[in-house]
Amino acid sequence: MARITSRYVSSHISPSGPGDARPTALQVVKDEEMIDKWAGKTILVTGANDTTGLETARALHLTGAKIFITTRSATKSAAAIKSIIDSNGGERGGIEAITMELGDLSSVRNAAEEFLSRSNKLNILICNAGVLAQEFGRTKDGFETNFAVNHIGHFVLFQQLKECLIASTTDSFNSRVVVVASIGHRMSEVHFEDPNFEHRAWDAISAYGQSKTASIYMANYIDRTYGRQGLHAWSLQPGGIASNLVRVSEEEKQAIYSNPAIFPWVKTPEQGAATSVWAAIAKDLEGQGGRYLESMQEIGE
């Protein structure tokens, strides 16, 4: 099977930092000639209140599809919706919000139920929300926090929505699930015998890596299990995002900005959302899935 690539690969060969020639999510929508072309389609994006999630929803809103976003609060949802409508010049296909806490499975199930009460169609589910190397903790359901939020919550959400995704598939456009993973998956395999660190030493980076490896497995499972029913899935890593640096110390931030081996690879949120949007709408990906994307192309590891 040929490795999947795109017109954008060359722009990633010698990056020069945020805002360079690497594409933005908006550019992908324009290049795919999808502005206002998707009236009647429905897309759900989790964690769309800031950074790459917000920019993913903003770009996809321009397609004319009905957009649903999830955030952890009504206040965050309102701010995100206003930002998207203001920048895109109006409602277009419409945009609505659902409050959801991925670390609480009752909240996830309630969010899925609320979505299904508002829409009988779902063409694309983008599992974008997540946490970054949280310190040790357990959710109310008893799961380690990173694993619960980054993987289990999204897996349960998918299970609640899969019938709607399958029912929405058509011959011209198979439904898609896009799972945002991370290069951090290289930090840990999934410890199936002890995913919650009950019998091994705690390490936040390993916990994060495990959760993102599980995200990749999830996408592969979906594609392998439901591909014949017209439901496909992709996993991807968006790259290092400039706005995420607010979550590190000033010393760590300066170390990144001054490191010539790291800084050129950092992206703006708009650039970080590009691979997610490409996976969601690219015509060249129709009827395919089960592979891992990075820098607008398939990567083997």
In this prediction, residue 71 has a pLDDT band, given cuts at 50, 70 and 90, of very high
Inform me whether the pLDDT recorded for 42 exceeds 60.
yes
Whether the predicted pLDDT of 253 surpasses 80:
no
> Tens digit of pLDDT for each residue in 124-179?
999 999 878 778 889 999 999 999 999 999 999 999 999 999 999 999 999 999 99
pLDDT tens-digit readout, 43-60: 999 999 989 999 999 999
Whether pLDDT at 195 is above 80: no
The answer to whether the CB of 54 falls within 8 A of the CB of 81 is no
Q: How far apart are the first and last CA of the chain?
A: 16
What residues contact residue 27 under an 8 Å CB cut-off, 6+ apart? 274
- Give the whole-angstrom CA distance, residue 249 versus residue 255: 10
Domains of the chain, with CATH numbers? 9-290 (3.40.50.720)
pLDDT band at 258 (very low <50, low <70, confident <90, very high): low
Residue among 158, 149, 213, 210 at smallest CA distance from 181 = 213
d(CA 263, CA 285): 30
* Per-residue model confidence as pLDDT tens digits over 268-279: 999 999 999 999
Higher pLDDT, 222 or 50: 222
Separation in Å, CA 237 to CA 53, 97, 99, 121, 266: 13, 25, 25, 27, 13
For β-strands 95-99 and 292-294, DSSP reports them as unpaired
pTM of the shown model: 0.94
Identify whether the C-beta of residue 81 lies closer than 8 Å to the C-beta of residue 108. Answer: no
Please state, in angstroms and rounded to a whole number, the distance separating the CA atoms of residues 167 and 82. 31
Q: Are 42 and 121 in contact (CB under 8 A)?
A: yes
Chain CA centroid to CA 136, Å? 24
Does pLDDT of 280 surpass 90?
A: yes
Kindly state the percentage of the chain with pLDDT values over 70: 92
Cα–Cα distance for residue pair 28/273, rounded to 1 Å: 10
300, 291 Cβ separation under 8 angstroms: no
Greatest mean pLDDT among 42-46, 180-184, 250-254: 42-46
Residues recognised as catalytic: 208
